[in-house]
Structure 1
Amino acid sequence: MPFQIIRQDITKMQADAIVNAANTALQMGGGVCGAIFNAAGAQKMQTACDKLAPIQPGEAVVTPGFALPAKYVIHAVGPVYSPVELERCRELLRSAYTESLKLAKKHRCKSIAFPLISSGIYGYPKAEALEVAKQAIEAFLDEYEMEAYLAVFDKSAFVLSETLLGEVESYIDQHYVDAHQPKNRNLLGVESEALAYAAPSMPLPMMAPSAALDDLMERLDEPFSDTLLKLIDAKGKTDVEVYKRANIDRKLFSKIRKGHGYTPRKPTILALAIALELTLPETDDLLERAGYALSQASKFDVIVEYFIVNGRYDIFEINEVLFQYDQPLLGV
């Protein structure tokens, strides 16, 4: 997927490029910087950096990855946080991300992984640093195709609205059914309709049985890709707008669009539903086309359902909440 926030050691990531939160002298430091130097081979990395130093806050340079899994290390310098120069700090931090992405593009990288720049000894509040990172990365991905990862060690960067988290928690309390409780599975809509035809006491109104059955079978046979394309047209959106808002890459979207028997995974379908701003019944119908259904026994499903029911279609906001609950993210 184009942009994903993950909990992982950045030195072990298989991205084409990883970003080092560097200092202006490009000297080996502590924290993420020290870990990257050590994993790459400290002496070789320092020699390469010495040839490029110094650089200024907001700038970035690139070296080989040496012993790292990544081919390149992009060394970006963020600002030292100053609340009296907040706007300047934001500009420099945003530039550190943007310049890193430009270098990755220049070196034909298909993937890049960032730490949360300036959030360590440079003192940038993690929640504010995360917001700047998201804005810079999302803006770049609106124009260019690349997979971007933000590797964080813990959830402390995610200071979400207490009101939002409270509303989500309340919704979970009301709708989540513990999977260990015995219960009957809710029928899919098409299953309910099929049962209706088998029960004379439950006819579908306004339709002759043969016509109703023909209609049901026609809808069952419609490929998922055909339904998706119809929805895109009905919602007045473009393909590019949909796959970017769904946070999936162009190649995956093209595979889904062509069909040929390919069925995307449930998180991908829900990401498309969010991108299309579908209602809950429309989402249910789209899921049914691929053989899925929302379940009250799945906390993941209940959380996504909350956002759909409340008309909140920001996929990154949804993924932040899913991240808090240790759930899979939308788009993959």
Structure 2
Amino acid sequence: MELIIVKGDITKIPVDIIVNAANSSLLGGGGVDGAIHRAGGPAILAECLEIRARQGECKTGDAVITTAGRLPANKVIHTVGPVWIGGQNEEEEKLKNCYKKSLQIADDYGAKVISFPCISTGIYRFPKRLAAELSLEVIKSYKCRILEKIIFVCFDEESYDIYHNLLDS
């Protein structure tokens, strides 16, 4: 499996599945979540509303899949990362679950290429280096059945440098 790190806008990269760092409401918000909802259009929100009607909000560490609307992808996996409160609330395990569940859904869907943002490192304040270490740990240990390429899309230079340094070491 190929692992690629890029700096850019996750809504512009053609893939089978884009992972969204969603909030539990699934209704869009700021950061990556808002960007994905804006770029993808109302079809994403409509499916999120259907999911909420069936199951309620999405729990931290869990994930659901919807259409990608106008995005250059087939589907969006919405996963809810943990808010960092000092590491005392199982934040590391919850973040790892975001990646595990997203990979499982992507494999089940038959995706070959998936893109991930840096989950929980924005307004949820998860330490960027720790988040990168955990995401790479999960991805390197996951036994993909179908996935061929995973793209980490870093919005800022600091995250991009962290991922590159971790992969180079």
Task: For 2:61 and 2:87, locate their aligned partners in 1 and report how far apart those are by CA, in whole Å.
Answer: 18
Residue by residue over 1:142-192, the C-alpha shift from the partner in whole angstroms, topping out at 9 and shown as x without a partner, is 4534211110023312459xxxx8xxxxxxxxxxxxxxxxxxxxxxxxxxx
Aligned match of 2:38: 38
Q: Which has the higher contact order (CA 8 A, sep 6+)?
A: 2
| Ranges in structure 1 where 5+ consecutive residues have no aligned partner | 166-314, 319-332
Counting only pairs closer than 5 Å after superposition, residues 229-240 of structure 1 correspond to structure 2 as none
Give unpaired runs (5+ residues) of structure 2. none
Q: What's the TM-score, normalizing by structure 1? A: 0.46
| Alpha-carbon separation, structure 2, partners of 1:148 and 1:159 | 17
Superimposed CA distance per residue, residues 128-152 of structure 1 (whole angstroms, 9 cap, x where no aligned partner) = 1111111111111x45342111100
C-alpha displacement at 1:100, in angstroms? 0.4
2:131 aligned residue (123, 129, 132): 129
1:69 aligned partner: 72
Counterparts of 2:44 and 2:162 in 1: how far apart (Å)? 35
> What residue is the counterpart of 1:59 in the other structure?
62
Larger radius of gyration: 1
Task: Give the number of aligned pairs.
Answer: 162
What does residue 144 of structure 1 align with? Answer: 145
How do residues 114-125 of structure 1 correspond to structure 2 at under 5 angstroms? 114-125=116-127
The one-letter amino acid paired with 2:109 is H
- Residue-by-residue CA offset, 1:221-245 (whole Å, 9 max, x unaligned): xxxxxxxxxxxxxxxxxxxxxxxxx
User: Structure 1 segments of 4 or more deviating over 4 A?
Assistant: none
Identity %: 37
More strand by percentage? 2
Structure 2 CA distance, aligned partners of 1:18 and 1:115? 9
The change in CA–CA distance for 1:317 and 1:27 in structure 2 (over 3 A counts) is same
Q: Describe the superposition over 1:2-51 as per-residue Cα deviations: whole angstroms up to 9, x where unpaired.
A: 2111112110111100000001110110111111111110x221111011
* Structure with the higher fraction of residues in helix conformation: 1
